[in-house]
Amino acid sequence: MNKKNTNTYRKVIITLSFVIPIAVALLFSVKIKGIDLSFLPPIYAGINGTTAILLIAALIAIKNKNINLHKRLIQCCLALSLLFLLCYVAYHITSDTTIYKGSYKTVYYFILISHIFLSIGVIPLVLFTYLFAFEGNFEKHKKWTKIAFPAWLYVAITGVVIYIMISPFY
């Protein structure tokens, strides 16, 4: 890979790292009436759960030195994360915000807030980690993976937990 492509990829990752969270935040103020996408939350919770399982499978694959399987699993996780984002945004621009009314508010909001902040941070972490592998810089890839993997796994798992906790209040 040449230096020009590398610099372009880095600029794209940095741009996406700012544009995605800002766009999602701005889209929360958009409400499209007349479209019922209330079926989406269990789907995107399932996407999060599948992502978590595949991330663990990718870890096992690389520990067993199955690089091709690891690569395909990570690419699948990236695609699932994009699909999650699309479903999440589609649901939230067509539905009112659901308020948690359970007795574990402190736990719920701690998980939710940590999930939100890490989901923002995981964008550049995961994309740069992937780029380092793509470039063949496996030392840097391994170093970044020590932060990116647990953060991404936490976001995927807590996405399911948040859904389970809020689902009775839809």
Coil vs helix vs strand at 136: coil
Residue range of the domain that includes 64: 38-169
Indicate whether 120 pLDDT > 80.
Answer: yes
Other CB atoms within a 10 A radius of the CB of residue 138 amount to 12
The verdict on residue 73 lying in a domain is yes
Calculate mean pLDDT across residues 101-120.
Answer: 97
In a domain, 127, yes or no: yes
Encoded tokens for 78: 């990236």
pTM: 0.94
81 in a structural domain:
yes
- Nearest-angstrom CA–CA distance, 87 and 59: 26
Please say if the pLDDT value at position 4 is more than 80: no
Mean pLDDT, the chain, whole residue set: 96
**Quick one: which of 51, 50, 70, 52 has its CA closest to 60?**
70
Amino acid 5: pLDDT: 84
11 in any annotated domain = no
Half-sphere exposure of 51 (CA within 13 A, CB side): 28
Residue 65 falls inside a structural domain = yes
pLDDT value for 1: 65
Q: Does residue 93 lie within any of the structural domains?
A: yes
Confidence of residue 6 (pLDDT cuts 50, 70, 90): confident
On the CB side of 64, CA atoms within 13 Å amount to: 11
Residue found by looking up tokens 């479209």 in the block: 35
Inside any domain, residue 30: no
In eight-state DSSP terms, residue 107 is H
The tally of domains found in the chain comes to 1
Give the mean pLDDT of 69-98: 97
Q: Say if 22 falls within a structural domain.
A: no
DSSP state of 28: T
Q: What would the pLDDT profile of 137-152 be if each residue is shown by its tens digit?
A: 999 999 999 999 999 9
